[in-house]
Structures are given as C-alpha cells and as structure tokens.
Structure 1
Amino acid sequence: MLLGVFTSLYDIIRISGSDKPTVDTRVFQLHYKWTRLLLFVFCIIVSLNSLIGKPIACTGTAEARLQEVMQTYCWITGTFTYEKYFRDNQIGASQLTKVGVGPGHPEHDEKKHITYYQWVPIVLFLQGVLFYVPHWIWKMFEDHRIRHLIEGMVEARMEEKKRRQRQALVVRYLVDSKGTNEWYAYQYVFCEILNFANVILNLVLTDKLLGGDFFTLGTRLIKYDPEDPTSVDPSHYTFPKQTKCTFQYFGASGTVSTIDSICILPINIFNEKLYAMLWFWFVLLGLVTGLNLLWRLAMIASPVLRVWVLQTKDHTHDVGNMSVVTNVVNGISFSDFFFVWIFTKNLNGLVLFDFLREYSAGVAEDLAPKRRPRLYPTLPHAMQLQSLDSPGGHSSSAQDFELRKPLTPCDDTDPVYSSVLPAKRRQ
C-alpha cells in the first residue's frame, strides 16, 4: 500500500526527462518544473509530519481520556495567542511563559487565532497545480508542432544525404508557413503573462492563509536582530510554537467546566522554514518572470535583438554567419521568427548553421517577385520525414523544394561555411 502511495507521489512530482523537444524557455520551466517540484515536496513533508508525528500537544488536565479529547478539539478549532504579549514586550515577566502566551481576559484582550496549519498541505498541493496550469495551456496551444518537425530530422548517426533531404522538407514547411504563426507566438506570450500573474496570485493566496503576515515575512526576517533583547522573532508571531486553547466540557454535576490549556505546535517548526523559503523563492521568481516579460516585449519591438538572440546559439555567433542570421530576421515577422527560434533551440552545432543557411535561402526565394503561388502548408511529421529513407521513397514537398547545393560542401569553398568549420577539418 505504501509502495503504491509513493509511486503515485513520484508520478506527480517527477520532472520530465530531456528526451522531449524543447518548446519553451528556462524561465518558463522555473514555474512548471522547479516551483511545482518545490511545492509538492513541501506538501509531502508537512503531510508526513502530520500523519506520522504529533502535530499538537496540549496540557491542562490529568485525565488521559479528557486529554486526548481536548487535543483533538484544539487541533480542529484552532489555537490562539494574545497580541499584547507581542506589542508590550513582556518577555521575562514572571507571569509569561512564552512570547504571545500569558494570562489574558477572553473578551477584552485581542487574540490572534492560529488555524492555518490544517490547510497547509492542501494549499501547497493546489499551488503546485496552479504553477502547472500555464504549461498545460501552452501544450494545448503548441499541439506538438515542434516535436513533429524534430523527431524525424534529428537522429544520431544519420547519413548526410538523408539529413539534407529531411531538412529540405522541414525548411519548405517553415517557408510556406511564413505569416501563419501569429497565434503561436502570441499564445506563448499570453502563457508567460499567466506565469507572472500566477506568482502574484500565489503570494496573495499565501498571505490570506497566514492571516496577512506573508507579504512582509521576508523583510521582517532580514531586519530581525537576534542580539537585540527587545526584538521579537517574526517567526514566533506568524508561526508560534506555544499557544493557548480554551476547552469547555460538562462536569460530573452537570456544570460547565473550563480548561485554559497550553498547546505546543511542533508542526510550526517545519512551517516557519518552508514559508520563509517560499517567500524568497516567490519574490525571486516574480522578478525574473517580470524581467523576462520586458525582454519579450523588447524582442517584439526590436529586430536587432532577434538577430542577437540567434547569433548567440553555438556556431551562429561567428562573424561569417552574421549576414545569414540578419537575412532570416529581416525577411520574417516576429511571430515567424519566434517559431523558428523555438525550433532552433533543439538544434546545435553545424546542423543549426546548415539549417539557418537553407532557411535564409528559402526566405529570400519566397520574397522574390516571381515566386510560385503558395498553398496553406501541411505540417510534416516524423513518419513522413522517415519515409524519405525507404527505397524509392519520396515526398511531394521535398520535390517542390530543389536542393540547390549541398549543405556540407566537400571542397570547403563556401566562405561563410568555412568560417565555422573546425580548424582540424580545414587542414
């Protein structure tokens, strides 16, 4: 039974392997991979501590039967602390046993009720699901378009001729689909906006859960000086380890008896550390996501940045390839550029360089005054690409796109290509 439970937990929190094509950025992955993993792990830690450990222990009666009932009652209804013992700084007074706990009037003294610990595992799980939602939406929008192009094109130990034939088919599709990728790019930007809104939503949700103490938790922890005897640890206020609980029951004579109980909350030892880490993580994640959105807007507005983005990929940063990248960017819109950029994230080395050269030539041909009429393209998939390898296999799309010259020149006479060849190969 336990094996089945942990297997299900693993399926929830596991991170997908690197064998799948990349269709997003590292900032996007921070949300649905690492933040989701962090929240699910925290959820499991708190849940196991509540199920296996003893989350609450109360004292106030000598009767064992009544003691168990009282602890259950205090766990269900919640406990409280007195605000005055935080404000007046009465630490060390003879009547005070702990920060926030001491004698008080049940009606006149302001109380701070502690009830969130019952909801922490559920909220952490829901937050993990929330951080996965934008990725799920993007997968619905993306619909495996990149995977269909990549799976049949990128294989280990593929012959050069076969690779060029498959690449020709992919390039022809990308050229023919020019101007049809508007929704693809802006749907991704929409999901990035959802990621940013998700961080803000989770900050607000956590703040509500903790009674309005989460927004300033990190700054209060930074400002706290443990050497100052007059300062109170912010963790004691938000996550008290010792609280009070008032339990009433009928005595033997039928009169109402009241027990003013002191309760220990070991569960808050974990809660204070988990939420301190979450505060810094959410703030950092919000800053990174916000800056990434600004970068995306700048990329939309500036073709120069798009050129720079493609030139930073492996061999494409060489000076000899600057004209190729510039031709690609100047010949297409941001939406088409974005689709090509996501596609090139799955390529590297000379394969990437060859693809950019061939795609640049295809874009130039498409922009020519006497280009042939273009129909709405059909996305090639892995089976179509692999069908080129079969005896006599061919593709109408591959025939439409003539291979003007080899993508890997044997004589190394291409000055642009030779600028990125390894020195050993040129010798």
Structure 2
Amino acid sequence: MLDIFRGLKSFVKISHIHIDSPVFRLHYSITVMILVAFSLIVTTRQYVGNPIDCIHTKDIPEDVLNTFCWIHSTYTIKSAFHKKVGVDVPHKGIDNSRGSQEDRKSYMYYQWVCFCLFFQAILFYTPRWLWKNWEGGKIHALIMDLDVGICSEVEKKQKKKLLLDYLWDNLRYHNWWAYRYYLCELLSLVNVVGQMFLMNRFFDGAFLTFGIDVLTFMESDQEDRWDPMIYIFPRMTKCTFHKYGVSGEIEKLDAVCILPLNVVNEKIYVFLWFWFLLLAFLTTLSLLFRVLIIMSPRIRVYLLRFRFRMVRRDAVDAIVVRSRMGDWFLLYMLGQNVDCLIFRDVMHELADRLKRSPVMLPDA
C-alpha cells in the first residue's frame, strides 16, 4: 500500500517546462492526487477489514447478515434525527419502522464511493490530457535547452536564431493554439462546478450546502445543533432481513448496523466541498483574467513589462502592437521557460525586425 501512495508523487511532480498556469496545475496535479489518495483509502477500508457490522439476535450467521446489508443498502428514519438520544431513540436516525415508507432514508452510495472518487480524478485530468495533445510539445521544442543558459556562445547564437526565425515566420498564426488552452481552462471550471452538482445528485441533494451546514453546526449551541454529517454519512443504520421460519412462514429480522467507513467518508467530503469551492473561485478569476487579455492589448503590454523587466519597454510595445493575442501567449510561455537573458535578446531582436518591416495591424 505504501508503494501505491509513493506512486502518487508523479501527479505532483512539477516539470521544469511550464505549458500552463498554476491554477490549471491545481486541477490536474494536486486535485487528482488528492482524489486518487482518497479512493485508495476508502478502498482499503472497504475491502480490507469489515466496513459494516450488524447487530442481530436470531440464529443467522454474522457474515451473511453483514454481506446482505452491505449489498442491499441500509436505511434510517428521518424523524429520528430530531429526537433526543437516550430518551426517545437509542441513536440518531434509529427508531421503530412502523411509520410510512416516506420517512425512511436509504443509503446505497457507500459501495460506490471509491469508484466515484477515482472517476472524479479522471475527469479532473481530462482537460490536461486535451491540452497536452493540442500543445503537441511546442514549448519543449522551441526552448531547445535554452532554459539552462549554460552552453557555448556559438550554440547559443544558433539556437537563438532558430527560435527567432520561427517566431518571425509564424507570427500571427498562434491564435487557435492559444484559444485551445483557454478552452481547456474553461473545461476545468465546467468540470469542478459540474462535479459539485454530481456529488449533490450522488448524496440525494444534500451536498451543495454541505460545507455551510457543517460550519453552522460547529457554531451553534451544543444542545440545539443537528449534525449534517450524520444525516448524510450515518454511523448507525437499520437493515431488514427476511427469511423462512421453521414452519415455512416468512420471518422479518430487524438489525442495527454500524458503518465505521462513514467516519472516513464524512471527513473526505467536507474537505472536498471546500477544496472544490476554492478551485471554482480561483478558476473563475483566471478565466476573467483571460478575457481581459483577449480584449485588451494594453493589458498584454503591462503583463510582459511586469513579468519580464529586463526587456525594453519599446520592444514590448512593438511586439504587442504588431502581433496577435496567440503570439503574446506563446511569448509569455517561452519567457517562463527560457533563460531570462536569452529571452531578452530574442525579444529585442524580434522587436527590431518588426520595426524595420512594414506595419502589420493585428486582427486580434
């Protein structure tokens, strides 16, 4: 098991070549690692050990009853959550079943938690997979080991010329390439918001306000508060088992089951609620920032000046004015990977070429 968790380090391994933003990396790196780790934890608790223990009084093998209740789900009584423990009911959600069927709340999700977490991890990695295929190794090919900056002057000059010639020959042809990356960022936002609703569906409409309910529970008075985690992830449930009696009549066995796995599940989903909310907030800000970049060339100028202070201001102005948004995005990514002195020289030489050439007005 420890070897499996050590393998998760590959998800957070930061490459020395950056082809995306830090917020985008939170989705496919940190979040995927968290979800896979949670899936492994739940799987270990579920299939190694006993995830359910049912209390019964009649002559039925314990393993049979536990397996039956695990497979066919358990239930609680909704009205019993609001009764006083030790006075009206023995445990929250446990009461007699003489009421209507509508007062029962069935729990069928716990067999699927480990699979759902793993499926969520796949969804979070999908935008990264798309961008990696669409990017096609362009950044890695263009930097040509210029991120180190330790090479002979002849080699450095030759590589700078190759990079400059590519930028010059392909100027104004990178818009579609950049828009594909912005689409992947948009898919990341759609994914994290969609997963909130997916979890809400998974837990019968109780997940969207789960974090707020938990905070309210922690701040309320001890006598009046009602634990929302027990309602979604009960520790004690009921299970009904039918069997034939000695005379051929059907006998009904009412059992009380302990679900120790839900102690882990509730902590996992409280964390995921806040983590998904943070991801959605950061990704929304990132997309609004992208809209500003697309709409305003002046913002692009300020960003290049702020990020790469060694490049002359007039060079930045000349490049942004005579290029498109996709060219700006490529240059920004190259600047994050190429040695700062080499990137400065390339920017200056590109600006000089643009100044000597006929004026080209950008389309976007």
Q: Per the shorter chain, which TM-score range?
A: over 0.9
Q: Secondary structure at the match of 1:249?
A: strand
Per the alignment, residue 84 of structure 1 pairs with 79
Per the alignment, residue 146 of structure 1 pairs with 139
The correspondence for 2:68, drawn from 73, 85, 89, is 73
Alignment deviations for residues 108-131 of structure 1 (CA, whole Å, 9 cap, x no partner) = 551111111100000000000001
Instruction: Call closer, same or farther: CA 1:118–1:261 in 2, change over 3 Å.
Output: same
Any conservation in 1 of the 2:144–2:159 contact (CA below 8 Å)?
A: no
TM-score of the aligned structures, taking structure 2 as reference length: 0.92
**How far off is 1:136 after superposition?**
0.6
Any conservation in 2 of the 1:207–1:213 contact (CA below 8 Å)?
A: yes
Q: Secondary structure at the match of 2:150?
A: coil
Per the alignment, residue 339 of structure 1 pairs with 330
The correspondence for 2:317, drawn from 326, 331, 338, is 326
Q: Secondary structure at the match of 2:91?
A: coil
Identity among equivalent pairs (%): 32
Q: Give the letter for the 1:194 counterpart.
A: L
Any conservation in 1 of the 2:146–2:342 contact (CA below 8 Å)?
A: no
1:21-420 matches, within 5 Å, as 21-63=17-59, 65-86=60-81, 89-92=82-85, 94-105=87-98, 107-108=100-101, 110-155=103-148, 157-224=150-217, 225=219, 227-313=221-307, 316-317=308-309, 321-367=312-358
Q: Give the letter for the 2:344 counterpart.
A: F
Measured in 1, the distance between the counterparts of 2:29 and 2:51 equals 30
Any conservation in 2 of the 1:226–1:233 contact (CA below 8 Å)?
A: no
Instruction: Call closer, same or farther: CA 1:18–1:59 in 2, change over 3 Å.
Output: closer
Q: Secondary structure at the match of 1:55?
A: coil
Any conservation in 1 of the 2:211–2:274 contact (CA below 8 Å)?
A: yes
Q: Secondary structure at the match of 1:261?
A: strand
Any conservation in 2 of the 1:344–1:352 contact (CA below 8 Å)?
A: yes
**How far off is 1:227 after superposition?**
3.1
Q: Which has the larger radius of gyration?
A: 1
Any conservation in 1 of the 2:149–2:339 contact (CA below 8 Å)?
A: no
Q: Secondary structure at the match of 2:180?
A: helix
Per the alignment, residue 403 of structure 1 pairs with none
Any conservation in 2 of the 1:203–1:215 contact (CA below 8 Å)?
A: yes
Unaligned 5+ residue runs, structure 2?
none
1:3-22 matches, within 5 Å, as 6=3, 11=7, 14-15=10-11, 17-22=13-18
Alignment deviations for residues 44-81 of structure 1 (CA, whole Å, 9 cap, x no partner) = 11011112232110011253x53221111100011111
Structure 1 stretch 192-201 or stretch 217-226: which is displaced more? Answer: 217-226
Unaligned 5+ residue runs, structure 1?
370-427
Any conservation in 2 of the 1:101–1:243 contact (CA below 8 Å)?
A: yes
Any conservation in 2 of the 1:331–1:363 contact (CA below 8 Å)?
A: yes
Any conservation in 2 of the 1:95–1:103 contact (CA below 8 Å)?
A: no
Deviating beyond 4 angstroms after TM superposition, the runs of 4 or more aligned structure 1 residues are: 9-13
Q: Give the letter for the 2:72 counterpart.
A: T
Any conservation in 2 of the 1:59–1:262 contact (CA below 8 Å)?
A: yes
**How far off is 1:367 after superposition?**
3.6
How much is the aligned-residue C-alpha RMSD, in angstroms?
A: 2.1
Q: Give the letter for the 2:319 counterpart.
A: V
Any conservation in 1 of the 2:244–2:251 contact (CA below 8 Å)?
A: yes
Measured in 2, the distance between the counterparts of 1:182 and 1:106 equals 64
Measured in 1, the distance between the counterparts of 2:104 and 2:354 equals 70
Measured in 2, the distance between the counterparts of 1:108 and 1:182 equals 59
Alignment deviations for residues 175-205 of structure 1 (CA, whole Å, 9 cap, x no partner) = 1101211210111111111111111121111
Q: Give the letter for the 1:144 counterpart.
A: G
**How far off is 1:350 after superposition?**
2.0
**How far off is 1:12 after superposition?**
6.2
Q: Secondary structure at the match of 2:337?
A: coil
Q: Give the letter for the 1:134 counterpart.
A: P
Q: Secondary structure at the match of 1:53?
A: coil
Measured in 2, the distance between the counterparts of 1:306 and 1:49 equals 51
